[in-house]
């Protein structure tokens, strides 16, 4: 069995609160950067020799702190760990999205194979498929524990898929900002 630590980034800049930021490359708030400093120490202590990170800045910041604390650690930027792309919804407030589209955003859970948020965003199962492809590949790389610093969507998709949970339950599997979720998966 391979131990995999899935880490959600810390709090984003305050002006993004209440907004859909998905794959928008937003930075962290002052509080988010402070939380990342202590979280970076905890991640470094996990003993991983390789850390996989989303290409988005909010994940890369934390990874940089881990590298400063841990010796002999490799960073691998992997686009499969990026957050869901929300199409034309990116950057809008959730209230504005709801005002314009009503309950359409429920399509993420009621039609996970086909609903594309914001008209051209990613379907929920697209996010699931790329996150699970990453997990399968990472679990088969020789070495100790695996760490991934990424986002709520991919983490919830991995957790929900491994648990066999219906997609309607996946929003409840999104970890808190800065939370480390530890799972075990079969490895080669």
Who contacts 116 (Cβ-Cβ below 8 Å, separation ≥6)?
87, 122, 123
Q: Are 73 and 48 in contact (CB under 8 A)?
A: yes
Q: 71 pLDDT exceeds 80?
A: no
Average pLDDT over residues 143-155: 95
C-alpha of 132 from chain center: 12
Q: How many CB atoms lie within 10 A of CB 79?
A: 11
Domain range enclosing 13:
2-185
Per-residue pLDDT of 33-51, as tens digits, reads 999 999 999 999 999 989 9
pLDDT band at 147 (very low <50, low <70, confident <90, very high): very high
pLDDT higher than 80, residue 177: yes
Distances (CA, A) of 68 to 9, 63, 74: 17, 9, 11
Percent of the chain, pLDDT > 90?
A: 89
Average pLDDT over residues 152-178: 98
pLDDT score for 119 = 93
Indicate whether 187 pLDDT > 90: no
pLDDT at 144: 86
pLDDT value at residue 188: 64
Residue 70 pLDDT: 84
Residue 38 near residue 14 (C-beta atoms within 8 A)? no
CATH assignment at residue 77: 3.40.50.1240
Question: Residue 51: what are its φ and ψ, rounded to 5°?
Answer: -120, 130
Number of domains in the chain: 1
Report whether 167 contacts 15 (CB < 8 A). no
Inform me whether the pLDDT recorded for 166 exceeds 70.
yes
Task: Please list, residue by residue across 13-38, b when 16 or more beta carbons sit within 10 angstroms of its beta carbon and e when fewer do.
Answer: beebeebbbbbbebebbeebbebbee
Mean local confidence (pLDDT), 131-137? 97
Whole-number average pLDDT of the chain = 95
Rounded-to-integer distance, Cα 115 and Cα 3, Å: 33
Q: Give 147's strand partners.
A: 5, 51
What pTM, to 2 d.p., does this model score? 0.96
């Amino acid at each position: 069995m391979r131990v995999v630590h899935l880490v959600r980034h810390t709090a984003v800049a305050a002006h993004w609160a209440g907004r859909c930021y998905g794959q928008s490359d937003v930075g962290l708030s002052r509080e988010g950067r402070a939380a990342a400093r202590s979280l970076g120490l905890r991640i470094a202590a996990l003993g991983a020799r390789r850390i996989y990170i989303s290409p988005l800045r909010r994940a890369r910041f934390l990874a940089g702190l881990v590298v400063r604390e841990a010796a002999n650690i490799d960073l691998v930027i992997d686009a499969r760990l990026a957050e869901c792309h929300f199409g034309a919804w990116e950057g809008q407030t959730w209230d504005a999205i709801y005002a314009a589209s009503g309950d359409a955003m429920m399509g993420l859970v009621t039609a996970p194979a086909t609903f594309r948020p914001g008209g051209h965003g990613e379907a929920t199962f697209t996010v699931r498929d790329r996150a699970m492809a990453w997990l399968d590949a990472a679990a088969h790389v020789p070495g100790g524990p695996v760490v991934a610093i990424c986002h709520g969507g991919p983490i919830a998709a991995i957790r929900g898929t491994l648990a066999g949970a219906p997609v309607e339950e996946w929003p409840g599997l999104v970890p808190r900002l800065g939370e480390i979720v530890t799972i075990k998966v079969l490895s080669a």
